[in-house]
Structure formats: C-alpha cells, structure tokens
C-alpha cells in the first residue's frame, strides 16, 4: 500500500525533478530519512547496484520512458538524479 501511495503522489503532485528523485529514492530506501541534492546514493545511503536499478526503474515508470544506460552511470547523488529527470522531462 505504501508504494502505491508514493506512486500516486508522484504522478499527481510532483512537479520538480528533485521531488521526483527524492520520492523514488524513498520508495526504494524508506530508511534514507532526510535527503539533500548532495546526498550520495552509494556512500551516504549505502545503496547497492540493485537499489540503484530499482530507483531508476521507478523514475522510468513514472516518466513512461527508458533511460539510456550511459546516463544512469553519471548519477551519483540525489541532485544528479534530479538533474537527469529534469533533462529527460524537458526533452
């Protein structure tokens, strides 16, 4: 139920890439707590490669698109993910 609620929140209310990024991270890593653009997914949140794939999958689902693998390798922080989301949303 919690995942469905978070997904509906993102689809209805989220307007910025940062909000979408934090919602995706918190869906997969609910214990993450307070996030900032500088929060490093691997170092600060101890996200492993599976977590990162799941976070990207959440974003892909919500944007209804596939994210190029080369772009995913550039994502290290919540801010990087937010910038990628904004870039993809704006074409």
Q: What is the pLDDT of residue 90?
A: 82
Domain extent for 49: 2-89
Residue 14: its pLDDT value, please? 55
Distance of alpha carbon 10 from alpha carbon 38, whole angstroms: 21
DSSP state of 77: B
The stretches of 31-77 forming alpha helices (DSSP H) are: 49-63, 69-72
pTM score over 0.85? no
* CATH number of the domain encompassing residue 62: 1.10.1200.10
Beta-bridge partners for 40: 77
Q: How confident is the model at residue 91 (pLDDT cuts 50, 70, 90)?
A: confident
- Residues 54 and 25: their CA atoms lie apart, in Å, by 9
Query: 37-75: per-residue pLDDT in tens?
Result: 999 999 999 999 999 999 999 999 988 889 998 999 999
Domain count, the chain: 1
Give the phi and the psi of residue 78 in degrees, each rounded to 5: -60, -35
């Amino acid at each position: 139920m919690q995942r469905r609620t978070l997904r509906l929140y993102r689809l209805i209310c989220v307007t910025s890439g940062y909000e979408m990024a934090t919602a995706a991270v918190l869906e997969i890593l609910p214990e993450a707590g307070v996030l900032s653009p500088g929060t490093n997914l691997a170092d600060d949140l101890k996200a492993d490669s599976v977590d990162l794939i799941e976070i990207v999958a959440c974003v892909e689902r919500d944007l209804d698109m596939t994210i190029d693998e080369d772009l995913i390798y550039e994502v290290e922080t919540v801010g990087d993910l937010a910038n990628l989301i904004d870039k993809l949303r704006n074409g």
